C-alpha cells in the first residue's frame, strides 16, 4: 500500500510539472508568435512599450543645472526594415487610463526677470532663433496677425482709391477695363482688391520686351520644342473667348488637355465678363510643372527696360543656350546659390545643410516668416537638391534663354511662367467637425509618391516626398532636439530638449503613402519603393506637401478647420492674399522646422505643454479665409484682371490700352 501511495504521489508531481511546463511553453509560444516578423499589427501602450532610464543630458542657457533626463528604451520593435524602411503597420497609443510621465525634464524654474532678446529676421525669409528669446512662434503669430489686420485696413474702398494705389505700386495706370473689373469686385464683395502683386511679378519683365516679339512667339514652333500647349483667346471684341489652337505631342485626351483653359472661359462666361476683354491670344501650358526657366541676364535687362518705360528686342530665334551654369543662370550672380553651389554628384545621403540638423553642433534653428522668400532656391541653395522640380533636371535644364509668356499651373521662383487662378480640385465647403471632436492629435498626410519619376538613373531619393517619408518613418534609433517644450510666453526658449525619435514618431505622426508605388520604372525601383516605406489605405491630412507641381488639395484641406502645415516651393495666385501663421503654418521644404512647429502646438506625447488653443484658432481662421477669400468669385476676379493686363501687355499700342479716370 505504501509503495502504491508513493507511486501515485510521484505521478501527481510529474503531472503538475508537465502541466506547469506546458503552460509556460504556451506563454512563450504566444509571445513569439505575437512578435514574429509575420505579425502584421501590434497595439502597444507606452506603459509596456517604453521604460525610463536616467542619462545625463546637458541643457545650455538654463538658469539651473539639470543633470539628468528621462531617456527611453524601445523594446524589440518587430519591424523588418528593408532598404531604408519596413512594411509593418504599427499602431502605438497612450494608455488612456494611466497618467503619463513627461518624456523629458522641463525647465520649470525659469525666471520671468530674465532678459528676453530678439530673434534675427533674415532677408531670405527665415527667422533665426536666439536661444535667449522667447519661443519664436509667439512672435511669428503676433507679427503676422498685425500684418494681416494692416492689410485689411488699408484696402481700397472705391475705384479712385484703387487707381491711386495701383499707380503707387506699379508706376503706371491700370489696364483698360479696370472700371468693369472694379464693378465686379464691388458687386461680389471681393476682398483685398489691391493685393494682386503676383500678376505684376509675372508680367513685369515682359514690359521690357517689344510686344511684336511677344505676339510672334506663338507662331514660332522651333522655340517651343515639344512643349504641349494651346492658345486661348478671341479675334474680335464681340467674339466669345475660345480655344484657338492646340499643339499636342502626348496622347492626353483633348478635354483633359485643355481643361484649365476651358474652366477659366466657363467662369468668365458665367459672370458675363467676356464682352469686356479685348481680342488677345494667350498660350497655356499643360504640364503640372513650369516650362520656361529664367535666364538672369536677359531677365534683368528686360526688367530694367520695364522700369524705364522702354522696350528692347530679344531675338527668339538665336537666344543662347547656357550649358555651363544651368540652374545658376536663373539667379542673380550675387545670390547665395552662386557662392555655395550644390554638388549634384555627391552620393546619397548628403549633408547639404548641417546647420538645419537639430543634433548638429552647427545647428541654427530657423522658422519661416516670409513664405515667398523661403521658397526661392537662389536664396536657399539646398532646395535645388531637396525638391523633384529641380532634382529631376539634375544641374538644370538645357533649354535656350527665351522671354516667353506662358500661363502655367505651378511656376517656381526660377521660372518665367505666368500664374493663373485655376479651379483645380476647388470645393465650396467640406465636412467640418468641431475641434473638440478631433480626437486624433497626430500629424496626418496621405498621398502617392509623385514629385519625380523613379528609376535607377534618377536622383529620386532626394525628392521632397521621399524626404518627407524618410523624415517620418526612418532613423527611429536616432534622437531629436525639440525646441521650447514647456517654455511659456516671456521665457527663454533655450536650446531644446533631446527626445528619442523611436518614441515620438509613431505616437505623433500618421504620415504614409497610399496603395502602391507609382511614377516608377520596372527596373527594380518600384520594388525598392514598396519595401522602403509603409503603404496604407486610410486617408487623413493636415500636412500639405507639393506633388508633381503645386498641391491642388490645399483648398480642401484648409476648409476643414484643421491646422494646416504647408511645405511648398510654388507661389500661387493667392500667396499675397493669405497670411502665414494666421491661416496656416508655413514649413520649410526640407521639414527641418516641422518637429519644432508641430510640438509647439501639440505639446509632448502626453498632450502637455502644447498650445491647442492657438492651433484651433489658426484652423478656424484658415477655414474662414477659404470661405471668404477663395470663392469662385475670387478666382474670376483674379483671372479677369490677369487677362486685362495680358491684353495690354501684348498690344502694339500699350498706351491706348490703359485706363484713366474721367
Question: Model confidence over 83-105: pLDDT tens digits?
Answer: 223 323 333 333 434 444 444 55
The average confidence (pLDDT) of the chain is: 78
With cut-offs at 50, 70 and 90, classify the pLDDT of residue 351: low
pLDDT > 50? residue 235: yes
User: Looking at residue 99, what is its pLDDT?
Assistant: 42
Q: Which are the contacts of 580, defined by CB distance < 8 A and separation ≥ 6? A: 140, 144, 368, 369, 371, 586
Mean pLDDT of 178-183: 98
Mean pLDDT of 43-61: 30
H/E segment holding residue 245 = strand 242-247
User: Looking at residue 404, what is its pLDDT?
Assistant: 87
- Mind listing the pLDDT tens digit for each residue in 266-316? 999 999 999 999 999 999 998 787 888 898 988 999 999 999 999 988 766
- Mind listing the pLDDT tens digit for each residue in 193-217? 999 999 999 999 999 999 998 988 8
Mean pLDDT of 342-346: 73
- Mind listing the pLDDT tens digit for each residue in 493-548? 999 989 988 898 888 888 877 765 555 555 556 555 454 544 333 333 378 988 76
Domain layout of the chain by residue ranges: 120-148+295-638, 156-190
Q: Which residue has the higher pLDDT, 143 or 556?
A: 143
- Mind listing the pLDDT tens digit for each residue in 464-494? 787 888 888 777 778 889 999 889 999 999 9
Among 34-38, 222-226, 367-371, top mean pLDDT goes to 367-371
Neighbours of 222 (CB within 10 A): 7
User: Looking at residue 469, what is its pLDDT?
Assistant: 80
Mean pLDDT of 445-469: 68
CA-CA distances (angstroms) from residue 195 to 189, 191, 199, 200, 247?
14, 9, 9, 10, 34
Question: C-alpha grid cell for residue 498?
Answer: 533631446
Percentage of residues in the chain with pLDDT exceeding 90? 45
Lowest mean pLDDT among 246-260, 387-401, 464-478, 607-621: 387-401
User: Looking at residue 4, what is its pLDDT?
Assistant: 39
Contact 444, 511 (CB under 8 A): yes
Please give the model's pTM, rounded to 2 decimal places. 0.78
H/E segment holding residue 137 = helix 136-153
With cut-offs at 50, 70 and 90, classify the pLDDT of residue 47: very low
- Mind listing the pLDDT tens digit for each residue in 314-335? 766 555 555 567 788 899 999 9
- Mind listing the pLDDT tens digit for each residue in 572-602? 999 999 999 999 999 999 999 999 999 999 9
SS (H, E, C) 144-186: HHHHHHHHHHCCCCCHHHHHHHHHHHHCCCCECCHHHHHHHHH
- Could you report how far apart the first and last alpha carbons of the chain are, in Å? 130
Amino acid at each position: 500500500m505504501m509503495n502504491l501511495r508513493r507511486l501515485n504521489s510521484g505521478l501527481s508531481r510529474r503531472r503538475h510539472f508537465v502541466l506547469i511546463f506546458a503552460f509556460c511553453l504556451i506563454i512563450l509560444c504566444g509571445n513569439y508568435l505575437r512578435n514574429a516578423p509575420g505579425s502584421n499589427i501590434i497595439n502597444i501602450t507606452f506603459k509596456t512599450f517604453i521604460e525610463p532610464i536616467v542619462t545625463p543630458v546637458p541643457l545650455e542657457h538654463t538658469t539651473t543645472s539639470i543633470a539628468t533626463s528621462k531617456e527611453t528604451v524601445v523594446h524589440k520593435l518587430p519591424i523588418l526594415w528593408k532598404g531604408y524602411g519596413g512594411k509593418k503597420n504599427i499602431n502605438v497609443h497612450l494608455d488612456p487610463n494611466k497618467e503619463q510621465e513627461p518624456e523629458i525634464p522641463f525647465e520649470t524654474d525659469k525666471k520671468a526677470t530674465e532678459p528676453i532678446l530678439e530673434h534675427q529676421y533674415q532677408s531670405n525669409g527665415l527667422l533665426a532663433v536666439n536661444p535667449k528669446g522667447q519661443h519664436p512662434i509667439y512672435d511669428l503669430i503676433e507679427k503676422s496677425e498685425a500684418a494681416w489686420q494692416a492689410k485689411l485696413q488699408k484696402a481700397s474702398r472705391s475705384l479712385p482709391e484703387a487707381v491711386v494705389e495701383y499707380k503707387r505700386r506699379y508706376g503706371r495706370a491700370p489696364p483698360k477695363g479696370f472700371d468693369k473689373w472694379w464693378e465686379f469686385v464691388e458687386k461680389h464683395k471681393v476682398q483685398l482688391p489691391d493685393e494682386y502683386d503676383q500678376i505684376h511679378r509675372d508680367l513685369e519683365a515682359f514690359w521690357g520686351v517689344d510686344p511684336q516679339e511677344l505676339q510672334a512667339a506663338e507662331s514660332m514652333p522651333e522655340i517651343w520644342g515639344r512643349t504641349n500647349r494651346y492658345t486661348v483667346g478671341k479675334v474680335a471684341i464681340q467674339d466669345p473667348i475660345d480655344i484657338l489652337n492646340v499643339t499636342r505631342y502626348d496622347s492626353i485626351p483633348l478635354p483633359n488637355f485643355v481643361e484649365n483653359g476651358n474652366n477659366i472661359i466657363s467662369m468668365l462666361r458665367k459672370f458675363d465678363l467676356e464682352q469686356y476683354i479685348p481680342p488677345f491670344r494667350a498660350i497655356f501650358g499643360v504640364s503640372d510643372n513650369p516650362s520656361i526657366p529664367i535666364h538672369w541676364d536677359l531677365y534683368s535687362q528686360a526688367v530694367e527696360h520695364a522700369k524705364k518705360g522702354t522696350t528692347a528686342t530679344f531675338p527668339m530665334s538665336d537666344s543662347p543656350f547656357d550649358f555651363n551654369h544651368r540652374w545658376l543662370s536663373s539667379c542673380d550672380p550675387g545670390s547665395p546659390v552662386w557662392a555655395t553651389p550644390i554638388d549634384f554628384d555627391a552620393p546619397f545621403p548628403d549633408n547639404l545643410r548641417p546647420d538645419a540638423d537639430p543634433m548638429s553642433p552647427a545647428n541654427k534653428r530657423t522658422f519661416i516668416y516670409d513664405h515667398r522668400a523661403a521658397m526661392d532656391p537662389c536664396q536657399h541653395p539646398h532646395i535645388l537638391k531637396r525638391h523633384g522640380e529641380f532634382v529631376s533636371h539634375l544641374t538644370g535644364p538645357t533649354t535656350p534663354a527665351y522671354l516667353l509668356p506662358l500661363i502655367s499651373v505651378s511656376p517656381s521662383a526660377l521660372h518665367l511662367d505666368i500664374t493663373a487662378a485655376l479651379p483645380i480640385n476647388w470645393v465650396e465647403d467640406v465636412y467640418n467637425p468641431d475641434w473638440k471632436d478631433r480626437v486624433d492629435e497626430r500629424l496626418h498626410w496621405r498621398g502617392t509618391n509623385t514629385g519625380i519619376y523613379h528609376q535607377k538613373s534618377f536622383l529620386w531619393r532626394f525628392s521632397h516626398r521621399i524626404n518627407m517619408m524618410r523624415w517620418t518613418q526612418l532613423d527611429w534609433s536616432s534622437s531629436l532636439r525639440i525646441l521650447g517644450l514647456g517654455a511659456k510666453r516671456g521665457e527663454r526658449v533655450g536650446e531644446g530638449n533631446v527626445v528619442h525619435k523611436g518614441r515620438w514618431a509613431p505616437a505623433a505622426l500618421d504620415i504614409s503613402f497610399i496603395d502602391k508605388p507609382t511614377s516608377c520604372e520596372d527596373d527594380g525601383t518600384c520594388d525598392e519603393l514598396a519595401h522602403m516605406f509603409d503603404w496604407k489605405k486610410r486617408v487623413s491630412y493636415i500636412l500639405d506637401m507639393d506633388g508633381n507641381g503645386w498641391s491642388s488639395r490645399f483648398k480642401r484641406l484648409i476648409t476643414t478647420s484643421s491646422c494646416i502645415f504647408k511645405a511648398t516651393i510654388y507661389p500661387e495666385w493667392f500667396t499675397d492674399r493669405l497670411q502665414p501663421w494666421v491661416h496656416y503654418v508655413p514649413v520649410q521644404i526640407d521639414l527641418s522646422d516641422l518637429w519644432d512647429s508641430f510640438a509647439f502646438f501639440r505639446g509632448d506625447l502626453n498632450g502637455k505643454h502644447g498650445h491647442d488653443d492657438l492651433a484651433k484658432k489658426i484652423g478656424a481662421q484658415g477655414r474662414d479665409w477659404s470661405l471668404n477669400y477663395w470663392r469662385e468669385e475670387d478666382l474670376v476676379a483674379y483671372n479677369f484682371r490677369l487677362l486685362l493686363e495680358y491684353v495690354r501687355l501684348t498690344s502694339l499700342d500699350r498706351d491706348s490700352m490703359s485706363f484713366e479716370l474721367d
